[in-house]
Structure 1
Amino acid sequence: MFSRFREMNTLRNQIFLGFLGVMLVIIAVSGAFVYDRVSSLLKDNAERHIQQTAVQANGRLDALIGQIDSLMEQVANHPTVQQLLLEELNGQEVSFNQRQSLLQIVSSYQAYMPSVGSLELYTADYRLLFPIKDGTLSTRIDNRYIAEANTQKGRLVWIGVDPNDDQSLLAIRQVSLMDRWFSRGGYLMAKIQRSYFQLNDPLSGSDSGESILLVSDEGHLLGSSEKPEPNLLPLLWTDDQTVSFRGKEYVQVKQRSDKANWTLLVLTPVSYVTKGISVLRTVLLFSGGIGTLLFLSLSFLLSTMITRPIIHLIRAMRKTRLGVLTPNPEPVSTMELRELNNTYNGMIANMNDLIRVVYEKEMLQSRTELKALQAQINPHFLFNTLEAFNWSLEEKGEEELAGLVVVMSRLFRYIIGSPNMDEWVTLGEELEQVRRYLQIMEMRMGERLTWTIELEQPEAAVPVPKLLIQPIVENAILHGVESRVGSGTVSIVITPSGRSGWTRVTVSDNGPGMDAERLSALRSALEGGPSISSKGTGVGLVNVQRRLKLYYGGKDAEHEGLVIGSEPSAGTVITFEIPNHGGDMYEPGQQKNSDRG
């Protein structure tokens, strides 16, 4: 199966599948974007329509409430009603005939609004005055509605469903006596049929299946002949746009009526809102399928056109692999593939030339290796010559000069004994080399030079690159001791650093030191600026600085390189710190004893 997969994993198939995948992604993303935007537009239009319906329904509701309010205001301000309530308030008992006269007044107003089932008139102390029967207002309705009517001072207060008749709604208002400075004289309560507020029957429906529900704050369905729904409070409390009602999904829009503290719920079936989306989905799927088939054919044709010249080039390369370096003669029309073919033909020509050059270089390399083998004899000859000098001086009794020759021999062997100039050694070995160098300088300068080396055993095993400290000591003698009048001192101190796992190397002299300007120039030279040395080449400290950055600057980002401190007539102190575990280029086992023989 794996070999079959490798056979199918061709460039043409990759281009074909790649183009097809890109097209499918584009079609899917664009289709999803169009579907989302158009469906959102359809939903927004439907929501605006529903919102407009809700505003219109709320206007009709306010008009119906205004009619009831106007009717009850006329009854409350009727002279007979005002007179009877005033007599009751003054303590005069109203006769049966007076109460009977209210029937004609109420009937005349009810004739204009048949939806008002009855009007009830109560005195200020809650006794029923009309109709003529026993009863009190406090037992008829809840006391909180009476308190609300007192607070509103003549404005209409809607109670909701009549406790004694679930097919009627109650509204109450306080009757203010105009002859008693509009003081409270009694209460007028109206009983209105629920069908009066039936803006849209949810059972009858319409073409869109839209329902308009009038709901009180307690969750009672007011404008329908049905019993109150027990689950209408969740519709009032939710902020979701889509709700479930009577087993169906609806888009809900709320409209609050300030006159009655009721809420209009306009419910439109989701299927009506999204009926255009299904058509849009079908169109997008059909067009996407047609586009996919068309692009499938074009992708196959394009991939074949691209890969045919490459196949010819591969055949020519296979001949080259068999040892026949021949160019590809097939003509190519595409610019990129033509350039690739020309590059291959040029490569074949260059390879033929390189074969000849490589042959010549191999001959030259053979001669170079012979010269390198001969060059290895030179250090050996130098060491043998120094040994001959040592024996000759010992035979003549020149022990001091013989010791000098031995020291020089070991010093040269340390430097050129290995072809790897950056060989790793220990601090103990490096300081032994420094000691040899100081012994030679001491023989040359005599009493003008004194030196000390302080090294503890734990720090002696720390790995360092070869010849890291000697250039600093050489600089201290050249610019410190030799520039001083009288004797000078060079000190090399190896101590543990303040950071755990680090060792500090300090080289100091008591030479003339440097002023601030020269010290700044030296630090600039260490960072890559021009050299300031007037003696020698002036590259010793720069070389050490670069090697410190090379070996320790990557793994140990805290490494700062050489730190130089100097003041006029106070000498110079150069310090640097190295990690005990070695640098970036150090590997355990690289340390070698360079002072053998």
Structure 2
Amino acid sequence: MRKWTDRLINLREINTLRNQIFVGFTLTIILVLTFAGVFIYGEVSVLLRQSAEKHIQQTAIQANGRLDALLKQIDSLTTQVVADSYVQKLLVKEVQQMPTKFSERQSLLQVANNYMAFSSGISSLEIYTLDNRRLFPLDDSSINRISEEALAAADGKKGRIAWIGIDPRSPDSVLAIRRIHLLDLSYSPGGYLVVHVNRDYFDMYEPEAKSDPSKNREFMLLGDSDDNPIISDIDHEAARSVLAQTGSTVTIGQERMLAVRQHSDVADWKLVLLMPVESATEGISVLQTAIYVSIGIAAFAFLLLTLLLSTMITRPIQRLMRSMRSARFGGLRLIPADRNRFRTLEIDELNNTYNQMVTHMNELIQVVYEKEITQSRTELKALQAQINPHFLFNTLEAFYWSLEEKEESELAQVILAMSGLFRYVIGSAAGNDEWVTIRDELEHAQRYLQIMKMRFVNRLTWNIDADEALLQAPIPKLIIQPLVENAVLHGVESRIGPGSVTIRVFSARPGFATVAVLDDGIGMDGETLAKLMHSIEGGFSKNPKKGAGVAMSNVQRRLKLYYPNTAERGSGLQIESKPGVGTTVRFEITIPAEGGERS
């Protein structure tokens, strides 16, 4: 037990304001420095990467421009070959079924050498007729050694050069085919020109850059339209893998590379420049070390300042706590002012405030004690008051079931209506449910009329006409029943024969609902109506015989209380009456917007 007590004491000593300030400030500065370091590290990394991407992007654009220039050079040279007059002459003879002689085909060697001298990249030229015979070089090889897809690509170009890709028979060369159109025969097809271009011809790097890889951390990859590598600084399988990948970053083995792609519209080829991610961000390690050192120095300096600050704050508070602790054993006592001990303005003010609090609390102790006694007595009386309504409801319930057993259904319904009426009224008197719906108010008025029916028998009829859309609108509790009661007592009762009461609820304008209570009693003349309105506004009835003025005055005051803006526009209770015709009492309420609530 003593061991656990010692642990609790140690925990309390650790959980001090000084330690909390120290730990809180320390964690805060660590989080701030860490966030700043991570943010700076991330931003600089992005900048370095963007700079590297921009560099290789520019290199890729330059390389792609050079590639297009080489391709256009081959395209221009082959255009001159297919338009050569001697080549055109021999192919016209072949089309006209006049075989060329061996000596004429030998002359093509001089023509081909003349054109090949303008380009170091072309390793050989081949000329074929439409019937698969090769005119040059001098052998009988058929064009069938070229795939049907390649011939279809050449035909699809309609005289433009079609770059096929790596030559299947010679992996060191690139194959291109161009269909020859005969100028003298309305540009009709006359044969094919097959060009073999050395793969090294498309190497974009300078020889000195390739000889020293340490100076050049970039890799170039050129692929055809089928993603087959043509020129590559990496092995064949890795090159095919890179051409198949998308995105700005690719993976070769275990190494991540930045990839910038360019597309050659001349040959429909892809040019990809690669740079290791580590090379792009090699300066980040220096920045990382600088950030770590800065965080360490800042954290250490902040710890010292936090320790000093926490000591300055908590030491005067600890002195004040020791002075206040002595008051626990002898009641609430004033602490002597010691300005030499509390040297800060805040602590000195805390001491004065505590003394004022002790004085005030001593004064309140007696008051609180007396209030507790009074409250206990009040709660006892309230409990007794709750027993009476409970007894009333149980009694009415017993009457109801007794009448049901005796098959007095009409009287049973009247008792049931009385029970509902009492519950509604007593609940309002207790302050419960200050606001109800129009439906609830109309049901309460109908229960009242049902009870009055027992008194007047066939002399009383009523009708309730309410707009279904307005039944859920909020309305103050017990605002309609006093008007119905007034209509029964002053309208129906004053008639010799049968009388009726009508309750109407309708909307005459958007956002408002009108409640009207009509009776067909004897009505009032203008003078009587004016006196009634004066008594309603004044709150006291000059004819207290039946209390009409008091009830309606209460309704009028509540309407002005709950709907002040509406009352200012001339609403509140409005009474219309004529002798021998009857009386109509109406008022207008606002309908809150959908989803709105009454306060």
TM > 0.5 = yes
| Structure 1 position 175 matched with structure 2 position 196 | no
1:407 is matched with which residue? none
What is residue 292 of structure 2 aligned with on the other side? 285
Once the two structures are superposed, the pairs formed by residues 166-565 of structure 1 within 5 Å of their partners are 166-200=171-205, 205-224=213-232, 229-230=236-237, 232-323=239-330, 324-330=333-339, 331-351=341-361, 354=363, 418=381, 423=386, 425-426=388-389, 429=392, 454-456=414-416, 465=426, 468=429, 481=489, 486=494, 532=539, 534=541
Task: Specify whether residues 362 and 70 from structure 1 end up closer, same or farther in structure 2 by C-alpha distance, changes over 3 A only.
Answer: closer
Q: Distance in 2 between matches of 1:197 and 1:362?
A: 103
CA distance in 1, matches of 2:523, 2:327: 70
CA offsets 1:70-95 (integer angstroms, 9 cap, x no match): 22222222222111111111110011
Aligned pair partner of 2:36 in 30, 41, 51: 30
Which residue of 1 is the match for residue 589 of structure 2?
none
Which residue identity lines up with residue 148 of structure 2 in the other structure? N
1:60 aligned partner: 66
Aligned residues: 467
AA in 1 matched with 2:277: V
CA distance in 2, matches of 1:231, 1:431: 93
Question: CA distance change for structure 1 residues 419 and 158 in 2, over 3 Å: closer, same or farther?
Answer: closer
* Secondary structure at the counterpart of residue 260 of structure 2: strand
Gaps of 5+ in 1: 377-416, 434-450, 490-507, 516-521, 523-528, 548-563, 574-597
For the structure 1 residues 177 and 485, does the alpha-carbon distance in structure 2 shift closer, same or farther, using more than 3 Å as the test? closer
SS in 1 for 2:112: helix
Question: Aligned with 1:250: secondary structure?
Answer: strand
- Alpha-carbon RMSD across the aligned residues, in angstroms, is 4.8
Contact 2:106/2:138, CA 8 A, preserved across alignment: yes
Match in the other structure for 2:82: 76
Question: In 2 relative to 1, CA 215–422 (structure 1 residues): closer, same or farther, beyond 3 Å?
Answer: farther
- Following superposition, the deviation at residue 152 of structure 1 comes to 2.2
Distance 2:158 2:482 in 1: 110
Contact 2:537 / 2:553 at 8 angstroms: preserved in 1? no
Deviation at 1:320, TM superposition (A): 1.6
Question: What is the CA-CA distance between 1:278 and the residue it aligns to?
Answer: 1.7
Measured after TM superposition, the shift of residue 240 of structure 1 is 2.1
Compared with structure 1, are the counterparts of its residues 459 and 107 closer, same or farther at alpha carbon in structure 2 (3 Å cutoff)? same
**Per-residue CA distance 1:161-215 (angstroms, 9 max, x = gap):** 0010111111111222222233222111111111111224989735242101001
- Look up the equivalent residue of 1:210 and give its one-letter code: E
Which residue is 1:154 aligned to?
159
State, as a whole percentage, how many aligned pairs show the same letter: 38
Task: State the 1:479 CA deviation.
Answer: 8.7
Query: Which deviations, in whole Å up to 9, do the C-alpha atoms of 1:200-258 show, x marking residues without a partner?
Result: 4989735242101001122211024987x245455334332211124421100100001
User: 1:2 Cα deviation (Å)?
Assistant: 4.1
Q: Sort the Cα spacing of 1:294 and 1:225 in 2 relative to 1 into closer, same or farther, 3 A.
A: closer
Shift of 1:262: 0.4
TM-score, scaled relative to structure 2: 0.65
Change (3 A) 1:462 1:115: same
Tell me if the contact between 1:216 and 1:261 (Cα under 8 Å) persists in the aligned partners. yes
Contact kept in structure 2, 1:196 and 1:223, CA below 8 Å: no
| Distance in structure 1 (CA, Å) of the matches to 2:37 and 2:112 | 67
Report the CA distance shift for 1:25/1:335 in structure 2 as closer, same or farther (over 3 A): farther
Q: CA 1:18–1:189 in structure 2 vs 1: closer, same or farther (change >3 Å)?
A: same
Q: Distance in 2 between matches of 1:206 and 1:92?
A: 62
Instruction: Tell me the distance in 2 between the aligned counterparts of 1:364 and 1:245.
Output: 85
- Unaligned 5+ segments in structure 2 are 1-6, 397-410, 430-443, 449-477, 498-517, 526-531, 559-572, 587-599
Q: Bigger CA drift: 49-58 or 300-309?
A: 300-309
1:155 counterpart SS class: coil
Question: Distance between the aligned counterparts of 1:423 and 1:513, measured in 2?
Answer: 42
